[in-house]
Amino acid sequence: AQSVAQPEDQVNVAEGNPLTVKCTYSVSGNPYLFWYVQYPNRGLQFLLKYITGDNLVKGSYGFEAEFNKSQTSFHLKKPSALVSDSALYFCAVRTMNTGFQKLVFGTGTRLLVSP
Amino acid sequence: AAGVIQSPRHLIKEKRETATLKCYPIPRHDTVYWYQQGPGQDPQFLISFYEKMQSDKGSIPDRFSAQQFSDYHSELNMSSLELGDSALYFCASSLSGSVYEQFFGPGTRLTVL
């Protein structure tokens, strides 16, 4: 079975500081990893994905994530946080196995960026 | 750019009633997914369709059914509603294949009283 873990329910960071939101995964086979962001009462917005290739993936709104196969991690990062980045962040995984097109989400991490 | 459209955005029903949620995918997307997100929970996969055929099934109750129509829109039918069905229901669409990201609609908030 495939799964992702987001060990932090909440991350607090001051505006202008770097932020990291952690994600580890467990899959059989090669993982396809995704980050989504959810603002209150809104749908999930796609931020970035890792499929193959360069381990550092750049996405929307200045976010990036680093795929680390040995640590089975895919942490989300941003060099300088904005107050508007405050939201709920979900890591998700899927594999290329037939029928496994669904996304399996982590439990989410709430990011609070203080002014 | 066109996004996934869901209707209605809000729905209030009584216990044991039925509800129908609609989803209109992004043009040219051939795969539709339904997810349920309870309060404070992560989205849970319910069911998906590829080219109008069910492609995968998750934790969808037997009281629920879904289909995808010839114009690729999808409907989630929910019967004998229970209080625990109150949740945010998301539809997502994508091109087929695991490498493609899913684009989510704004969701339908269902409240069962």
Chain A residue with minimum CA distance to B105? A43
Using CA atoms, how far residue A61 sits from A16, A36, A82, B27, in Å, is: 14, 12, 10, 25
Mutation for testing the A interface, residue in B98, B110, B111 having most A CBs under 10 Å: B98
What are the helix (H) ranges across chain A? none
With cut-offs at 50, 70 and 90, classify the pLDDT of residue A2: confident
d(CA A23, CA B30): 29
Residue-level pLDDT at A97: 59
List pLDDT tens digits, range A26-79: 988 888 999 999 998 788 999 999 988 899 999 999 999 999 999 999 999 999
Residue-level pLDDT at A1: 75
Residue-level pLDDT at A96: 59
- The 3-state DSSP class for residue B57 equals strand
Residue-level pLDDT at B109: 96
Using CA atoms, how far residue A43 sits from A90, A100, B8, B76, B91, in Å, is: 12, 22, 14, 17, 9
pLDDT profile of chain B (113 residues), mean per 10: 92 97 94 93 92 89 95 96 96 84 94 97
- Count A/B contacts: CB-CB distance under 8 Å: 62
Residue-level pLDDT at B59: 85
Taking CB atoms and an 8 Å limit, are A90 and B42 in contact across chains?
yes
CB B78 within 8 A of CB B21: yes
Cis preceding-peptide flag for B8 (omega within 30 of 0): yes
Taking CB atoms and an 8 Å limit, are A51 and B99 in contact across chains?
yes
List pLDDT tens digits, range A89-108: 999 998 655 454 788 999 99
Chain A residues whose beta carbon lies within 8 Å of the beta carbon of residue B101:
34, 46, 49
Residue-level pLDDT at A46: 94
- Min Cα distance B48 → chain A (Å) is 8
DSSP, residue by residue, A52-85: SS-SEEE-GGG-EEEEETTTTEEEEEESS--GGG
